[in-house]
Every structure is written in structure tokens, then in C-alpha cells.
Amino acid sequence: MFLPATDADIPRIVDLMNRAYRGSTSWSAEQAYITGDRTTQAFLREDIAANPAATLLKWVAGPGDPASGCVWLEPLGDGTWYLGSLCVAPDGQNAGQGRTLLAAAEAWARARGAARVRMSVVNVRDTLIAWYRRRGYRTTGEIEPFPYGSDRFGTPLRDDLAFVVLEKDLRAAG
């Protein structure tokens, strides 16, 4: 189940995100084209403070589980929500936990008025983009620039990175 993350959860969530996005055992890891931390406690706290309408949720699989997944959900207006930082601990990625978390995140947003969910994915992550497409997301044709010169998402190893925008109509899916 999802629970709102508290400040005390931030260290665990940062560790989880860094292992999921940059860990060598994760099928969804980015270390081939971005190195360094995916996020830091300071960046995550800054994001939370700057986006008071957003909710960082931790996935708790059962009693005693501090967080085996997380997701960021933020209302953008007009029934559209942004979904970001969806991740599952690497040891749960091949067990269907990602699908479970994504469906739960969509249901959570839908229960709060979401008609559409948008996200951005690094353009060279073909396997991950295909994974989202199999779950009803479509590419919008929009491309957002990668923040070169900032260490916000780590250090890029390529000069051709950008973010592909994906969107899912929850009314059609629900």
C-alpha cells in the first residue's frame, strides 16, 4: 500500500531511488549513460518544499517494510497529474512489483481527480519506454531538454540525452 512519505523516510527513499536508477543489479538502471546519484536528500527535500501540492508516496509491502518502492505524484491542473520517480527495489523488479506500483499510483491519482497521467523518461531508455507503452502510455511527441550543466539527475555520459514525454488517459483505462 502507498503511504505519504515523511521527512524521516527521505534517507531510505533516496537510497532506494539511487539503487533502482543507478544500481548495477537493476534492469532499469541508467549507469550506462548517467553516473552519480539519481537524487540526494537535499534535492528531494528541495523538491518537496518547492511543490507543496505534490505527494511523495512510499510503497509498504507489509509490516516492518520501511519502503520497497516509491512514486512522486503532482497535480498539474486540468485533470492532469505528473508521475515521477517511480521505482521498486531492484530485488523486486522482476516479480511484478513495478506493475503493481504503477497501477496503484494511477488509482491513487484517479481517486484525487486525475484524468491523465504524464511522465518524462530519458530518451535512450528504450526498454523502459516500451514497458510503459505496454501499460497504456503513449508518446506525446514532446521532448524536454536534459539539464546539462546541473548535477540534479547525475552526470551525463552522453551529449544526446533528453526527456520523452509519455501520457496515459486514465478515463479510457479505468
CATH of the domain at 79: 3.40.630.30
Give the structural domain span for 107. Answer: 2-173
Q: How confident is the model at residue 23 (pLDDT cuts 50, 70, 90)?
A: confident
With pLDDT > 70 as the criterion, what percentage of the chain qualifies? 96
This prediction has a pTM of 0.93
What is the spatial distance between Cα 37 and Cα 15, in angstroms, rounded to a whole number?
A: 9
Helix/strand/coil for 154: strand
Q: How many domains does the chain have?
A: 1
> Under the phi-then-psi rule, with left for phi > 0, alpha for psi from -120 to 50, and beta for the rest, what region is 6?
beta
Please count the residues of the chain: 174
pLDDT at residue 27 above 70? no
CB 88 within 8 A of CB 69: yes
